[in-house]
Amino acid sequence: MHCFGVGLGWLDLNNGLLHRVQCGKEMKNVRQTWILFTTVMMLSDFVEGHHTLNMEEQVAMFLRVVGHNQRFRVIHQNWRRSVETVSRYFKEVLYAIGELRNDMIKPSSTETPLKIRNSHRWYLYFKDCVGAIDGTHIYARVPSKMQAAFRGRKHYTTQNVLAAVDFDLKFTYVLAGWEGSSHDALILADTLERADGLTVPQEKFYLVDAGYAGRPGFLPPYRGTRYHLKEYGGRNYPINARELFNLRHSSLRVTVERAFGALKNRFRIIDNKPFHPFKITHGGDEVIPLGSSWVPNGSAPHGHEVAMDDNSAWSNIRDEWAVQMWSNKGHGPI
């Protein structure tokens, strides 16, 4: 009996993918999602099938590489395709995804999220919140002359990726390509200056962590006060208004951490040392680094100052909400 995926051609692999569980194992995807993704690629003008390599196989190879962080040579051995063929069609699918980014990653809805609307703990204060923003570090394979800039608080080279996530765990904005040594606040400042950067709907805001300054559109927790959910475990209940605010803020903002976790679990190429080179573009013609693979990278401006002082008016609003939370906490869930 053959071991699935080892030494088998595409026809045998495709037959195996008819099984829903096997499809999920091999490509980190259920068959229905794979078919839908393939259909989207076919309807686009960026990828074309070939008489010896149809669209289904191209997409399957791509998902196999990003789902398991496999070398092209492994795909070559298992799928009976040349390394050059695997590399060429992988890049074509990757390019197509980059071109379809605006269809795949859409801005947040301006309606109050269901998760907030149905909760008395959150609705009064966070009804205008459209999501959460954070940065995550992804392995980056860069030339030796660039490694110093890409090595920040990690002991290895990374790119710092900023993302916005809604409360359905959907990514609504992604900016990849910044060096691992770059501060999160600097990257946010960059995206706000871009013509195609992050925009905050009028009178709405995102939750951010304490590494960002409080300003209209971005609400951080109180610094120097307990914040993470594990710090409130057991009977370590909030003892004042600031702690209660931080607890509720954290219980909502954890959404972005869960989204990053789910993404890295599904696409191992993001959470492992890559076999593929990190390419930075300054003209917008190439696709972003493989780690994110959803949006194109542009040149990264330098020389910005990282302003960490909170906007006074926004701080006053946060104080008002914290006091109201403490006054209205009652005896129910905190």
Q: Where are the domains of the chain?
A: 10-103, 108-328
What's the pLDDT at 302? 43
The distance from CA 132 to its chain's CA centroid, rounded to whole angstroms, is: 11
CB within 8 Å of 192: residues ≥ 6 apart: 198
Contacts 24+ apart (CB under 8 A), 217-221: 218/133, 218/188, 219/129, 219/249, 219/314, 219/318, 220/310, 221/245, 221/246, 221/249, 221/250, 221/253
Give the per-residue pLDDT at 37: 66
Q: What is residue 192's predicted lDDT score, i.e. its pLDDT?
A: 94
pTM for this one? 0.78
Contact 35, 55 (CB under 8 A): no
Confidence at residue 241, expressed as pLDDT on a 0 to 100 scale: 97
User: Would you state the pLDDT for residue 50?
Assistant: 62
Structure tokens at 225: 């006060």
Residue 36 has what pLDDT?
64
CA distances from 95 to 88, 153, 241 (A): 11, 31, 49
The pLDDT of residue 166 is 94
pLDDT score, position 78: 78
Query: How many other CB atoms sit within 10 Å of the CB of residue 279?
Result: 14
Residue 68 has a pLDDT of: 80
Give residue 324's pLDDT: 95
**For residues 78 and 5, is the Cβ–Cβ distance under 8 A?**
yes
Which pLDDT tens digits describe the chain residue by residue (334 residues)? 334 444 445 555 555 554 555 555 555 555 566 666 667 666 666 666 565 677 778 888 888 888 888 888 888 887 788 888 888 888 888 888 777 778 778 888 899 999 999 999 999 999 999 999 999 988 888 888 888 888 877 788 888 999 999 999 899 999 988 999 999 999 999 999 999 899 999 999 999 999 999 999 999 999 999 999 999 988 889 999 999 999 999 999 999 999 888 888 888 778 777 666 665 322 222 333 333 333 333 334 443 445 567 889 999 999 999 999 999 987 666 7
- Closest by CA to 291, choosing from 153, 150, 177, is 177
Would you say how long the chain is, in residues?
334
Residue 281: the pLDDT is 28
